[in-house]
């Protein structure tokens, strides 16, 4: 087998993502344009390899599609974890959440990406740069005023042009099958396709009621139990057609779920709902954040862990002399080993380690340390209010329990 054929076979199997690797040497071919094929015995030509791989991925995976990452969130509900950090840069097992999203897109053959930014855009741009290190081509568009989800994507119109494109949040954790979503959209050609996930407690989410053919009949935003008629929730992952975006006004605040999708239904457009297997979590609160970390460590969430990273624990701050501390004791078989497991995470976050691990932020303090008289870790939290402190302590205790299971 020639080198070219080996590369082509590897691309068909999804082993390679060459779009970013050779971007500096060769431009992308125009859609539908067949590059000149390279003779099997000819010289190794990076331009030809790059073009052939792109066409091969388009043929075998069907994901020759651009993507827009909605990454403008400040993450107010996630404080104090975020602090001044943009929500897409919050670490999840050693990588920013948005980096996991980029890697997910790349695994499904999507390498032309634009990030829609608003809050602290330079922080995100400085971290990801051109995307070359992650094997993608990454552009940015910055909102000057709040435009909402659909308005922020409309601000990227010069990027997506006249072709259908994928929209995904840069601050959610998921491993769902994007290839399946794209295939269904191409097969059915609706105005928009929405990825749906089953949720046993769907009250915090928007629900999508679908007919037998999978087309969405109605949206129900954050219902009470009397109005729960389905367990399928809107994940915020969409494939959008340009004709749908024609209904979005320019430079105005406009939302996909609240504004665009109801308008499209009223005008008789088809919206396809695709139930997706896999993991999805809206990282909106400290509790959901720590649950997501635990799910990643347990393997429930399939993501690429950073090398050498063991646990993304933000332990809870417990000053034993402070009466306002909320704390919990976590039983374990090997206190020293469990502390070692979480050490890299605390050190990366700049924690003090003179007395257990102590992490201080704007309005909160977290601490975790082993107790001397029994096989337990003391996990404690202090925050501006008791409810937040309790939530932090509870979430960290949950994560410590997951880590303890991994030690067995």
Note whether 273 and 232 are within 8 A (CB). Answer: yes
- Other beta carbons within 10 Å of 161: 10
Burial of 304 (0-12, 13-18, 19+ CB in 10 A): middle
Note whether 131 and 20 are within 8 A (CB). Answer: yes
- Reference 192, options 245, 235, 147; nearest CA is 245
180 catalytic? Reply is no
- Reference 97, options 118, 51, 137, 128; nearest CA is 128
CB-based contacts of 97, cutoff 8 Å, min separation 6: 87, 88, 89, 90, 91, 170, 171, 172, 173, 283
* DSSP state string for 110-139: --EEEEEE-SSHHHHHHHHTTSGGGTSEEE
Burial of 215 (0-12, 13-18, 19+ CB in 10 A): middle
Q: Which residues of 85-94 are buried (b: 16+ CB within 10 A; e: fewer)?
A: bbbbbbbbbb
Q: Where are the alpha helices (DSSP H) in 28-177?
A: 46-60, 97-107, 121-128, 148-154, 157-160
Catalytic residue among 222, 287, 375, 384: 222
Catalogue the long-range contacts made by 361-366 (C-beta closer than 8 Å, 24 or more residues apart).
361/80, 361/81, 361/83, 362/79, 362/80, 362/83, 362/84, 363/79, 363/80, 364/80, 364/317, 364/388, 364/389, 364/392, 365/317, 365/319, 366/314, 366/315, 366/316, 366/317, 366/392, 366/396
d(C-alpha 208, C-alpha 134), whole Å: 34
- For residue 107, CA distances in Å to 134, 178, 300 come to 11, 9, 18
Token pair listed for 123 = 């922080």
* Residues with catalytic function: 222
């Amino acid at each position: 087998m020639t080198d070219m054929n080996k590369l082509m076979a590897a691309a068909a199997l999804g082993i390679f993502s060459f779009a970013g690797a050779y971007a500096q040497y060769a431009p992308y071919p125009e859609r539908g344009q067949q590059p000149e094929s390279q003779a099997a015995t000819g010289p190794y030509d990076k331009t030809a390899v790059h073009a052939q791989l792109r066409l091969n991925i388009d043929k075998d995976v069907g994901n020759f599609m651009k993507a827009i990452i909605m990454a403008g969130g400040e993450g107010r509900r996630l404080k104090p974890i975020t602090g001044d950090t943009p929500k897409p840069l919050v670490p999840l097992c050693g990588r920013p959440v948005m980096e996991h999203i980029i890697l997910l897109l790349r695994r499904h053959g999507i390498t032309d990406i634009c990030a829609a930014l608003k809050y602290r855009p330079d922080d995100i741009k400085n971290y990801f740069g051109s995307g070359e290190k992650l094997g993608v081509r990454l552009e940015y568009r910055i909102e000057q005023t709040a435009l909402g989800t659909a308005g922020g994507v409309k601000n990227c119109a010069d990027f997506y042009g006249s072709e259908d494109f994928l929209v995904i949040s840069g601050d959610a954790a998921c491993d769902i099958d994007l290839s399946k979503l794209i295939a269904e959209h191409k097969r059915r050609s609706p105005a928009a396709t929405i990825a749906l996930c089953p949720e046993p407690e769907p009250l915090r989410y928007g629900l999508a009621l679908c007919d037998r053919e999978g087309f969405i009949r109605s949206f129900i935003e954050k219902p009470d139990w009397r109005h729960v008629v389905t367990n399928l929730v809107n994940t915020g992952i969409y494939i959008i057609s340009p004709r749908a975006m024609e209904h979005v006004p320019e430079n105005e605040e406009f939302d996909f779920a609240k504004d665009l999708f109801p308008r499209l239904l009223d005008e008789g457009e088809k919206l396809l709902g695709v139930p997706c297997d896999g993991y999805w979590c809206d990282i909106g609160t400290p509790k959901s954040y720590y649950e997501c970390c635990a799910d990643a460590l347990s393997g429930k969430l399939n993501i690429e862990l950073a090398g050498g990273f063991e646990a993304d624990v933000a332990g809870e701050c417990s000053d034993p002399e402070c009466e306002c501390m909320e704390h919990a004791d976590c039983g374990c078989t090997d206190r020293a080993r469990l502390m070692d497991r979480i050490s890299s995470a605390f050190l990366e976050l700049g924690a003090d380690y003179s007395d257990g691990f102590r992490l201080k932020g704007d309005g909160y303090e977290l601490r975790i340390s082993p107790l001397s008289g029994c096989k337990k870790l003391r996990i404690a939290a202090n925050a501006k209010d008791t409810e937040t402190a309790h939530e932090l302590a509870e979430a960290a205790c949950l994560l410590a329990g997951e880590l303890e299971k991994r030690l067995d």
